[in-house]
């Protein structure tokens, strides 16, 4: 091994050890930790997080990275080492553009803002959160300016933090295409309001049995309980320590059967990605999913394209009926499939169905862009928000809690993050179309052979971790960069048939 890299390795090992500890503490805080643990434990978390940061951000690591970036040193590094050096170097270069006092003030702001947001949401009072939100956006606009290359817009800098392959110009085009399909399609679907009956999904479903059935489903799609854990939390999420310990959570509602079922398949999709990262990459800076959009593509493909198909349910629906004979014995598989695919305009992004989902994202994206461009102000957000919901989804929030205050993201400083959610759906559709060309997907699902699908995704996506970016994965797998056509065609075909349009 290159001697300079060997010195860097010590820092990387320490950082990844701290990251494992932080991931575990984070997972614990949301699942098993007792209520009163929060004060002391979060203090410990703060110290460990600071330690992790300083392990990488210090003068010695900076020198090592500069040396390792020289062409003659690069030649002696492996591909993985080169990628790690490149990634860390970029992190340094980005950070150095931001004055340290501003960075610290921003850290303090975003540590405090989520609790102010939570209170404002509880009290349905946007005005009490607006001053902090204004500061969050002001910092992000400034940071974007500091970090932008010549001719680059500040918003593009932030978008690229989450999706390096996309900027506002490419997203504008993508969202226009998606919007042009979904808005009219949703109008047609909404006109057939009571066409699909799904009342039976909202009877009483014993939550212990839901948990058992969801464990079965997780294992059925390939979640390995020898390398993973499933627990309960307020909102389902996935947390990866490394490729031998990936944790997912679920939440059970007695009067909603579909929620937990599709959450476990969704989180299971995220988990399969992390479990599938190659051994040589896990516990390194390139050892996780390549982007948030790519991650969401895996979870959404499992949840929607696979998990809501009739083929998927053919081998397992009788098991669900056996779990709840009273509620489901008279519900046919076809009735069940139609119900779990029902589309309906709503106000809340996280409760949205597959058809409406991207519209929620588009609204947030357009608002962020207009804020960055100075076309609107933070104080105008509730009005702008409500107008857009009426225009795109045909609904108007009764208050700001179910309107502009519904998401935590902005209070945490996650600006530029939302588009990834929509990109995930489109990436998933493009990949699914390709997979269907190469594998008899429907037949495999009917046979209950999820292994072949999992192995295919592992071979083309999972094992690479961050060694390839989103477009490289798409190019190698499908022969083209992201193309929204697959997604729009998928939606049109699905809902035209489902609603007999």
Q: Where along the sequence are the contacts to Zn ion (CB under 5 A)? A: 299
For residue 448, is it left (φ>0), alpha (ψ between -120 and 50) or beta?
Answer: left
- Whose Cβ is closer to Zn ion: residue 293's or residue 397's? 293
- Whose Cβ is closer to Zn ion: residue 141's or residue 294's? 294
Give the orientation angle of helix 381-393 with respect to helix 168-191, to 10 degrees. Answer: 50
In the bound state, the residue with its beta carbon closest to Zn ion is 299
We find the least distance from the C-beta atom of residue 367 to Zn ion, in angstroms, to be: 21
Beta strands in 308-435 (DSSP E): none
Using DSSP, state whether 203 is helix, strand or coil.
coil
- Whose Cβ is closer to Zn ion: residue 308's or residue 369's? 308
For residue 414, is it left (φ>0), alpha (ψ between -120 and 50) or beta?
Answer: beta
Contact (CB, 8 A) for 210 and 257: yes
Using DSSP, state whether 239 is helix, strand or coil.
strand
- Whose Cβ is closer to Zn ion: residue 185's or residue 356's? 356
The single-letter DSSP state of residue 324 is S
Selected catalytic residue, list 19, 267, 274, 366 = 267
- Whose Cβ is closer to Zn ion: residue 302's or residue 486's? 302
Whole-angstrom distance, CA of residue 419 vs CA of residue 416: 7
We find the least distance from the C-beta atom of residue 409 to Zn ion, in angstroms, to be: 13
Beta-carbon contacts of residue 349 (< 8 Å; ≥ 6 apart): 357, 360, 361, 406, 407
- DSSP per residue, 127-192: GGTHHHHHHHHHHHHHHHHHHPPTT--HHHHHHHHH-TT--HHHHHHHHHHHHHHHHHHHHHHHHT
- Whose Cβ is closer to Zn ion: residue 268's or residue 382's? 268
We find the least distance from the C-beta atom of residue 410 to Zn ion, in angstroms, to be: 18
Contact (CB, 8 A) for 117 and 135: no
Beta-carbon contacts of residue 77 (< 8 Å; ≥ 6 apart): 2, 5, 68, 85
Question: Active site includes 267?
Answer: yes
We find the least distance from the C-beta atom of residue 237 to Zn ion, in angstroms, to be: 8
We find the least distance from the C-beta atom of residue 295 to Zn ion, in angstroms, to be: 7
Are β-strands 238-242 and 245-250 bridged in parallel, bridged antiparallel, or unpaired? antiparallel
We find the least distance from the C-beta atom of residue 453 to Zn ion, in angstroms, to be: 18
We find the least distance from the C-beta atom of residue 79 to Zn ion, in angstroms, to be: 29
Q: Listing from the earlier edge strand, what are the strands of the sheet with 228-232?
A: 228-232, 245-250, 238-242
Beta bridge partners of 228: 246
- Whose Cβ is closer to Zn ion: residue 243's or residue 299's? 299
What residues are annotated to the active site? 267
């Amino acid at each position: 091994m290159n001697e300079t890299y060997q010195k860097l390795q010590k820092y990387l090992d320490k950082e990844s050890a701290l990251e494992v500890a932080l991931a575990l503490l984070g997972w614990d805080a949301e699942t098993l930790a007792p209520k009163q643990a929060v004060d002391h434990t979060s203090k410990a978390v703060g110290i460990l997080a600071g330690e992790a940061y300083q392990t990488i951000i210090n003068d010695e690591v900076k020198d090592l990275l500069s040396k390792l970036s020289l062409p003659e040193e690069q030649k002696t590094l492996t591909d993985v080492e080169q990628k790690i050096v490149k990634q860390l170097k970029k992190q340094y270069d980005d950070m150095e553009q931001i004055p340290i006092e501003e960075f610290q003030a921003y850290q303090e702001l975003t540590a405090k803002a989520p609790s102010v947001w939570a209170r404002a949401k509880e009290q349905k009072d946007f005005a009490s959160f607006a001053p902090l939100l204004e500061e969050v956006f002001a910092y992000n606009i400034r940071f974007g300016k500091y970090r932008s290359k010549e001719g680059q817009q500040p918003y593009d800098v932030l978008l690229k933090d989450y999706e390096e392959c996309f900027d506002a110009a490419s997203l504008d085009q993508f969202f226009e295409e998606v919007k042009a399909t979904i808005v009219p399609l949703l109008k047609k679907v909404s006109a057939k309001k009571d066409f699909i009956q799904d009342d039976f999904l909202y009877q009483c479903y014993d939550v212990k049995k839901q948990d058992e059935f969801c464990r079965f489903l997780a294992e059925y799609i390939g979640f390995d309980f020898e390398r993973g854990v499933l627990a309960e939390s307020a909102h389902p999420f996935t947390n990866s320590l490394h490729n031998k310990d990936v944790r997912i959570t679920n939440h059970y509602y007695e009067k909603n059967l579909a929620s937990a079922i599709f959450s476990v398949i969704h989180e299971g999709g995220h988990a399969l990605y992390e479990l599938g990262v190659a051994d040589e990459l896990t516990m390194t800076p390139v050892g996780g999913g390549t982007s948030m959009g790519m991650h969401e593509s895996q979870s959404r493909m499992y949840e929607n394209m696979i998990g809501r198909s009739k083929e998927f349910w053919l081998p397992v629906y009788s098991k669900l009926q056996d779990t709840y004979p009273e509620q489901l014995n008279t519900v046919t598989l076809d009735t069940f499939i139609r119900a779990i695919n029902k589309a309906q305009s709503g106000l809340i992004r996280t409760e949205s169905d597959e058809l409406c989902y991207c519209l929620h994202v588009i609204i947030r994206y357009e608002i962020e862009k207009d804020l960055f461009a100075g076309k609107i102000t933070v104080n105008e957000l509730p009005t702008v928000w409500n107008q857009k919901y009426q225009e795109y989804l045909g609904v108007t929030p009764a208050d700001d809690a179910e309107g502009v205050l519904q998401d935590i993201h902005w209070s945490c400083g996650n600006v530029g993050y939302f588009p990834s959610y929509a990109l995930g759906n489109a990436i998933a559709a493009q990949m699914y179309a390709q997979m269907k060309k190469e594998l008899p997907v429907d037949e495999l699902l009917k046979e209950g052979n999820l292994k072949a699908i999992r192995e295919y995704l592992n071979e083309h996506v999972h094992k690479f971790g961050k060694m390839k970016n989103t477009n490289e994965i798409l190019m190698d797998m499908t022969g083209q960069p992201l193309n929204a056509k697959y997604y729009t065609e998928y939606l049109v075909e699905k809902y035209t048939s489902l609603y007999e349009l």
